Amino acid sequence: MTTSVMTNDTRAKEYINSVFEQLKQKNAHQPEFLQAAEEILFSLTPVVAQHPEYIEHNILSRIVEPDRIISFRVAWQDDNNQVQVNRGYRIQFNNVIGPYKGGLRFHPTVNESIMKFLAFEQIFKNALTGQPIGGGKGGSDFNPKGKSDAEIMRFCQAFMSELYRHIGPDVDVPAGDIGVGAREVGFMWGQYKRLRGAYEAGVLTGKKPGYGGSLARKEATGYGLVYFTAEMLREKGESFLNKTVVVSGSGNVAIYAIEKAQHYGAKVVACSDSAGYIYDPEGIDLAAVKEIKEVKGDRIHTYLNYRPNAEYHEGCTSIWTIPCDIALPCATQNEINSESARILVANGTKFVAEGANMPSDLEAINIYLENDIYFGPAKAANAGGVAVSALEMAQNSSRTAWSFNKVDEKLQDIMKSIYTESKEAAEKYGYAGNLVVGSNIAGFVKVADGMVAEGVY
Ligand code: NDP
């Protein structure tokens, strides 16, 4: 290593440390946001060392500060005519390469820290897709569980009654996430259309195909995760065929990850919800899971009514004690800690790829990397959903509707190229095999170069 490269490296480290220290001071009560920022910032050291212009333009201090944070009251009436109040959010983080884009989450745990971590991750994920979309995220601490359809509709309408003034097809394009599926998107879309008095289909993605939604959007995140993992497997001379797979969650991402993994010949033996998990050594009966979750909206323990020989276990974390070749966490953030990661290592798991956002904490990621688990981080591995959302926007603005196969083929191409870009960036900067560093750098460079080109504002 030459002296000047060493100097650049030290300078980059000092710069990143100082950015992160300031971030900690300003956001002391936002652990999830700091966790996401720490993971990304420190992995950028090699690229910052080679690009002094990023320090000159103070790109990192700028990229960790959202363009704006919108927080608002959502008042709505429940079925007993009681007025309920929730808090709504939209974080418009970065629009350098396109309109803000990212889902809406309705879950009681939603707060500003979680919104910011998700929106921050979204910047880099969206850049990785190669589509013209910036980073954003939103949601509410509203709990949709146990609510009637009419209550969900009134909440969604009340939520959109404020949000509509901040979004638009060229401004900010929300979509679904936890607790927000096609039904909720439909209610919000209807309200937006009434308030705007115009048919701006590209303002929301995840709509049903009959009114501007894209075929294959529902499947996109789960299928995309499996396409990405298939590339990881190929790299090591392996495939899904006859592999044992554990998937956490039983929502949108989990269900379609299971579907595609089974299609590729894997045996998926477990999935979960927030109360517990099922273990079916014969292989999950996906039709039963779909009926429980998509049709009945029921709990995963009722799977035993379909398959009495399967097991149900209360609690979620011990799902990772089930021996598997491939682990696909598809439920929520921080569901794999160091203890679970060590168990995966001890059980001989060779691949972990993230369907959920930030399901592995920082210690867990380090354990994968130190123990030769090939790891696909969320922002690369689960980018299929937002990639197809961008394809939905393209269909909306050209007033066309593509076939399922056309969208699915594009999704496969996008996931392959995200994998290749991440792998090559890792190699270029001296971290061969580390897709965390590779995906962070590959996404960051696109946004950072755009920020340099735009100038300071
Ligand atoms: P869903 O609401 O459809 O499903 C979420 C699943 O995770 C449910 O099975 C839920 O169980 C479970 N879950 C929620 N909270 C917890 C918890 N604290 N512990 C254990 N399990 C929990 O959401 P999605 O499938 O859409 O999203 C799952 C993850 O994937 C999220 O991290 C999301 O941000 C990410 N993601 C989603 C995309 C999409 O296109 N939908 C795109 C990219 C990322 P229960 O039913 O009991 O609540």
Q: What are the tokens at 240?
A: 């899904």
Ligand 1 centre distance from Cα of residue 329 (Å) = 10
- Residue 457 has a pLDDT of 72
For ligand 1, say whether the CB of 86 is within 6 Å of any of its atoms: no
Backbone angles phi, psi at 83, to 5 degrees: -90, 125
Q: Give the DSSP H or E segment for 403.
A: none
Q: Please say if 137 is a catalytic residue.
A: yes
- Residue 193 has a pLDDT of 98
pLDDT in tens, 186-235: 999 999 999 999 999 999 999 999 999 999 999 999 999 999 999 999 99
Cα dihedral: 256, 257, 263, 264 (round 10): 160
| Residue 101: strand pairing partners | 173
Contacts of residue 370, Cβ cutoff 8 Å, sequence gap at least 6: none
pLDDT in tens, 47-104: 999 999 999 999 999 999 999 999 999 999 999 999 999 999 999 999 999 999 999 9
Given the CA of residue 386, which atom of ligand 1 is nearest to it? 42
For ligand 1, say whether the CB of 334 is within 6 Å of any of its atoms: no
**What is the arrangement of strands in the sheet containing 83-94, beginning at the earlier edge strand?**
68-77, 83-94, 135-140, 100-106, 172-175
**Percentage of the chain exceeding pLDDT 70:** 99
For ligand 1, say whether the CB of 354 is within 6 Å of any of its atoms: no
The Cα–Cα gap between 40 and 94 comes to 15
Whether the pLDDT of residue 368 is over 50: the answer is yes
- CB-based burial label for 67 (10 Å; 0-12, 13-18, 19+): middle
Whether the pLDDT of residue 2 is over 60: the answer is no
The Cα–Cα gap between 214 and 264 comes to 24
Nearest-CA residue for ligand 1 atom 3 is 251
pLDDT in tens, 260-310: 999 999 999 999 999 999 999 999 999 999 999 999 999 999 999 999 999
Whether the pLDDT of residue 164 is over 70: the answer is yes
Whether the pLDDT of residue 155 is over 60: the answer is yes
For ligand 1, say whether the CB of 94 is within 6 Å of any of its atoms: no
Nearest-CA residue for ligand 1 atom 42 is 385
Catalytic one of 101, 116, 125, 137? 137
Ligand 1 centre distance from Cα of residue 330 (Å) = 6
For ligand 1, say whether the CB of 389 is within 6 Å of any of its atoms: no
Helix (H, G, I), strand (E, B) or coil at 365: helix
Helix (H, G, I), strand (E, B) or coil at 356: coil
pLDDT in tens, 315-351: 999 999 999 999 999 999 999 999 999 999 999 999 9
> For residue 208, how many other CB atoms are within 10 A of its CB?
16
> For residue 83, how many other CB atoms are within 10 A of its CB?
8
Ligand 1 centre distance from Cα of residue 5 (Å) = 43
Q: Considering the entire predicted model, what is its pTM?
A: 0.94
The Cα–Cα gap between 141 and 113 comes to 12
For ligand 1, say whether the CB of 377 is within 6 Å of any of its atoms: no
Contacts of residue 307, Cβ cutoff 8 Å, sequence gap at least 6: 280, 282, 285, 288
Whether the pLDDT of residue 3 is over 80: the answer is no
Whether the pLDDT of residue 354 is over 90: the answer is yes
- Residue 220 has a pLDDT of 97
- Residue 456 has a pLDDT of 84
Task: Confirm if 266 and 242 have CB atoms less than 8 A apart.
Answer: yes
| Residue 313: strand pairing partners | 277
Euclidean distance between the first and final Cα of the chain, in Å? 37
pLDDT band for 1, please (50, 70, 90 cuts).
very low
The Cα–Cα gap between 355 and 385 comes to 10
Given the CA of residue 176, which atom of ligand 1 is nearest to it? 41
Q: What are the tokens at 272?
A: 């979960």
**Percentage of the chain exceeding pLDDT 90:** 97
For ligand 1, say whether the CB of 355 is within 6 Å of any of its atoms: yes
- Using only the alpha carbons of the chain, give its radius of gyration: 21
Ligand 1 centre distance from Cα of residue 50 (Å) = 38
DSSP for 246-291, written as a single string: EE---SHHHHHHHHHHHHTT-EEEEEE-SSEEEE-TT---HHHHHI
- Return the residue matching tokens 């995966």: 344
Backbone angles phi, psi at 352, to 5 degrees: -125, 125
Average pLDDT over residues 389-414: 97
Which of 106, 143, 177 to mutate for ligand 1's pocket (most ligand atoms within 8 Å of CB)? 177
- Residue 273 has a pLDDT of 97
Nearest-CA residue for ligand 1 atom 17 is 274
Given the CA of residue 358, which atom of ligand 1 is nearest to it? 32
Nearest-CA residue for ligand 1 atom 33 is 356
